[in-house]
Amino acid sequence: MQKKYFEKQFELAEAVKLPMFLHMRAVGEDLCEIMTQNLHRFPGGVTHSFTDSAEDRDRLLSFEKMFIGKFLR
């Protein structure tokens, strides 16, 4: 259910041309997969409460206009 509505948020962000504010805790692989599928709609954004691996961090930051607001370790 969360994945379905997460993808809908990309539609909304594209329509209103505003950045996304993403909460990311232990979902690195899923989040990066959905991001990859929706890059054409991604206007930029900030991920906060990041708790995943350094590899997931690097993959997330490889997306243009993506930033990490808080890195919890």
- In the chain, where the domains are located: 46-73
For residue 16, name the pLDDT band (cuts at 50, 70, 90): very high
* Average pLDDT of every residue of the chain: 82
pLDDT at 42: 87
Please say if the pLDDT value at position 72 is more than 70.
no
Reference 19, options 27, 28, 9; nearest CA is 9
Mean pLDDT of 12-20: 92
Please say if the pLDDT value at position 25 is more than 70.
no
For residue 55, name the pLDDT band (cuts at 50, 70, 90): confident
Q: Could you tell me how far CA 59 lies from the centroid of its own chain?
A: 11
Token pair, residue 65, equals 């206009």
The phi-psi region of residue 32 (left if phi > 0; otherwise alpha if psi is between -120 and 50; otherwise beta) is alpha
